[in-house]
């Protein structure tokens, strides 16, 4: 079994890359270790940058997103019992974001791939990648109870932080950078209409809180909690009471409560592995980098990675030049580090570190106050949040 590009991982990065390669006339086989139901049910991010929205439309996977997604023109910051709205279009020449769950993006891309794309194999577990420093790398995988080998001209690892692709890079080649944070998020899904029109980011002496949504009838909310927290220790009423306290402002705003349908704890960390290429192996998405979710960058970085890579493969096909493939890692890492910095900034500005002093808290409030009183500071946040154009 042979293909031009072998892709490991059927998340949004791998699926979008397969779609873009198909549209460019480039052969591709996509291997996903889980079954379709599991992949389509994974709860992940829900904020799409303007560039991500544009890419999904252009590749033919944006119709349902445009019908069901929620266009947001800003976010609300809350601190010191005050609220302030950051208006994106006025600060970014009209750019905005879309609330559309990653689960829905994945469903749309799977449907498109199965309808008219290249092979997409579910329950095809990649066990190893070999020969990436040769002209014909191989993906060794199991499918339908049999050991199989896929030979490729190139391999792309979109298989996440714990996947096999990155481990195929020899020791000493990669440099990794990592930061772990002394807190996590307790995330909930609730069958209740959102209590806000746009996302609310709240700084509080009790810890951070975020009010988001999945649809006009489903709310997605998060609480800062200590690392190692067990979701079972948080009774539903306790969750709502704590959210109420952290979102409190001196106004008539009210947090609507409803049945909680899911709870999970999400650790916070930053990670980058560079370079994102070795020989004929390329890394994209979480296989190469992770950001804390405060800046809403994870999915959008993955999209940027595979757009850059798909364009480079298309350039090779039409011109015979590997120039863009050779520039892939450097091109992507510029955006990755900008997103890492923004995510770090949002995380450390809005969360309460258990070790921080009153002085540290006053610095946070000063920074938030500057964002809400300075057009230049607000524009810096807005431009990073909606994301730069994808190169």
Q: Is 385 tagged catalytic?
A: yes
Q: Does 201 qualify as catalytic in the annotation?
A: yes
From the candidates 12, 137, 292, 293, which is the catalytic residue? 293
Instruction: Give 91's contacts (C-beta < 8 A, 6+ positions apart).
Output: 375, 378, 379, 382, 383
Angle between helices 328-350 and 375-386 (to 10 degrees): 130
293 given a catalytic annotation: yes
Q: Which residues contact 161 (CB under 8 A, 6 or more apart)?
A: 271, 286, 287, 290
What is the number of other CB atoms lying within 10 angstroms of the CB of residue 352? 18
238 is catalytic: no
Q: Which residues of 96-106 are buried (b: 16+ CB within 10 A; e: fewer)?
A: bbbbbbbbbbb
Runs of H (alpha helix) within 63-165: 63-68, 88-91, 102-116
Alpha carbons 49 and 385: distance in angstroms, whole number:
8
Catalytic residue among 22, 72, 107, 289, which? 72
Cis peptide preceding 230, ω within 30 of 0: no
297 as an active site residue: the answer is yes
Location of structure tokens 């991010």: 45
Going through the chain in order, the beta strands assigned E by DSSP cover 2-8, 28-31, 47-48, 70-72, 74-79, 82-87, 97-99, 120-121, 124-130, 138-143, 146-157, 175-190, 200-202, 209-215, 218-225, 260-274, 277-278, 281-283, 289-290
How many degrees, rounded to 5, is the angle at CA 213 between CA 212 and CA 218?
Answer: 140
Measured N-to-C along each axis, helices 328-350 and 358-373 cross at an angle, to the nearest 10 degrees, of 110
Catalytic residue among 181, 183, 201, 278: 201
A 10 A CB-CB count for 254 gives: 9
Q: Active site residue: 203, 289, 297, 351, which one?
A: 297
CB 165 within 8 Å of CB 129: yes
Instruction: For tokens 């946070």, name the residue.
Output: 364
Beta bridge partners of 272: 177, 289
Cα gap 291→336, rounded to integer Å: 9
Which run of H or E residues covers position 349?
helix 328-350
Catalytic residues: 72, 201, 293, 297, 385
């Amino acid at each position: 079994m042979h293909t031009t590009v072998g892709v490991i991982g059927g998340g949004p990065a791998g699926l979008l890359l397969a779609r873009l390669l198909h549209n460019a006339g480039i052969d591709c086989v996509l291997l996903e270790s889980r079954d379709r139901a599991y992949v389509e049910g994974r709860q992940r991010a829900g904020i799409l940058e303007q560039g991500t929205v544009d890419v999904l439309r252009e590749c033919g996977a944006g119709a349902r997103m445009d019908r069901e997604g929620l266009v947001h023109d800003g976010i609300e910051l809350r601190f010191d019992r005050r609220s302030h709205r950051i208006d994106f279009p006025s600060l970014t020449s009209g750019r905005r974001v879309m609330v559309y769950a990653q689960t829905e993006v994945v469903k749309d891309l799977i449907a498109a791939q199965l309808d008219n794309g290249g092979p997409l194999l579910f329950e095809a577990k990649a066990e190893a990648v070999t020969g990436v420093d040769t002209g014909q790398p191989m993906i060794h995988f199991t499918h339908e109870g049999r050991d199989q080998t896929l030979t490729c001209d190139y391999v792309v690892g979109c298989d996440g932080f714990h996947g096999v692709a990155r481990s195929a890079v020899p020791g000493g080649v990669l440099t990794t950078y990592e930061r772990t944070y002394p807190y996590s998020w307790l995330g909930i899904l609730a069958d209740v209409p959102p209590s806000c029109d746009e996302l609310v980011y709240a700084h509080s002496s009790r810890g951070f809180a975020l009010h988001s949504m999945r649809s006009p009838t489903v709310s997605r909310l998060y609480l800062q909690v200590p690392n190692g927290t067990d979701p079972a220790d948080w009774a539903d009423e306790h969750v709502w009471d704590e959210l109420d306290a952290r979102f409190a402002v001196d106004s008539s705003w009210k947090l609507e409560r409803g049945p909680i349908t899911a709870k999970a704890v999400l650790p916070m960390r930053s990670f980058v592995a560079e370079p994102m290429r070795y020989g004929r192996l390329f890394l994209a998405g979480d296989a190469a980098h992770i950001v804390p979710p405060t800046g809403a960058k994870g999915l959008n970085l993955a999209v940027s990675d595979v757009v850059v890579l798909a364009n480079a493969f298309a350039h090779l096909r039409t011109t015979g030049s590997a120039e863009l493939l050779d520039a892939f890692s450097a091109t992507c890492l510029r955006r990755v580090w900008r997103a890492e910095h923004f995510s770090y900034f949002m995380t450390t500005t809005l969360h309460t570190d258990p070790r921080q002093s009153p002085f540290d808290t006053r610095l946070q409030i000063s920074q938030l106050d500057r964002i809400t009183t300075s057009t230049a500071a607000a524009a810096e946040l807005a431009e990073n949040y909606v994301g730069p154009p994808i190169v």
